[in-house]
Amino acid sequence: MADWNPSLYLQFASERTRPAAELLARIAKPSAKHIADLGCGPGNSTELLRAAWPGAAITGVDNSPAMLDKAQKALPDCQFVNADIGAWQPEQPLDVLYANASLQWVSGHSALFPHLASLLAKDGVLAVQMPDNWQEPSHASMRQIAAELGHPAHGRIPLESVQSYYDLLSGSGCEVDIWRTTYFHPMASHQAIVEWLSATGLRPFLQDLDSVSQNAFLSRYLQLLEEHYPRQQNGQILLAFPRLFIIARRITS
């Protein structure tokens, strides 16, 4: 897959950072020495962690060189590692393991979540936020168009059930809190939705297509967005964006 585009990703920085901040606010951990940010991207979430724990050793993990370069320049006092976030191993148990909008790209959650819990120190916290919009028109339309045009249905797989995540983490010695929030983002146009998702959800669908096929895909996608997302009275479009939040505190050693 072509590398991520930090500038395109940060075009909607405030919308992307809001759930990261709200996830952080639910971590009841006044003191933390060792912290990791899985899927740190360009460092917008890592910056929140640095502000919350200025004295901690913070490691950002991502597999995008472009994102890591952006993050390292923004936060020179943090360590950034190019690695698979599902396989990365810290040098010591972690007080906070933070994964904002990243684990949805990693398969095998039934093995992944117990593995992440095992990386925590006693009383350490795993904080996870994942987009839960698999069935939203914004994402279901991508799969619909791929089928219409005869392209492979790339992209994320659906999340596990809330009950599954609870059992996986409670069975790994954690006290678990799970909730879901749906954000309704006002967008200036349907094209703005395309631009937002071009940096994330649309990438796997477009990466192997030539320019003609990409244009055909995006033209049809824009058409479906216009059908599914009506304009409000003031001309704005509300993009529903459900997200699943998990806080798991390790209570066994």
DSSP track, 40-92? -TTTHHHHHHHHH-TTSEEEEEES-HHHHHHHHHH-TTSEEEES-TTT---SS
Q: Which helix (H) or strand (E) holds 162?
A: helix 162-170
Residue 170 pLDDT exceeds 80:
yes
6: enclosing H helix or E strand: helix 6-9
Task: Quote the mean pLDDT of the chain.
Answer: 92
pLDDT of residue 13: 63
Q: Does residue 7 carry a pLDDT above 80? A: no
pLDDT of 11 > 80? The answer is no
* Position 19, amino acid: P
- Least confident span in 15-19, 27-31, 141-145, 238-242: 15-19
Task: Give the ranges where 75-159 is alpha helix by DSSP (H).
Answer: 109-118, 137-149
pLDDT given at position 84: 94
Q: Which of 89-103, 110-124, 135-149, 194-208 has the lowest mean pLDDT?
A: 194-208
Nearest by Cα to 239 from 184, 202, 191: 184
DSSP symbol at 178: E
37 or 16: which carries more pLDDT confidence? 37
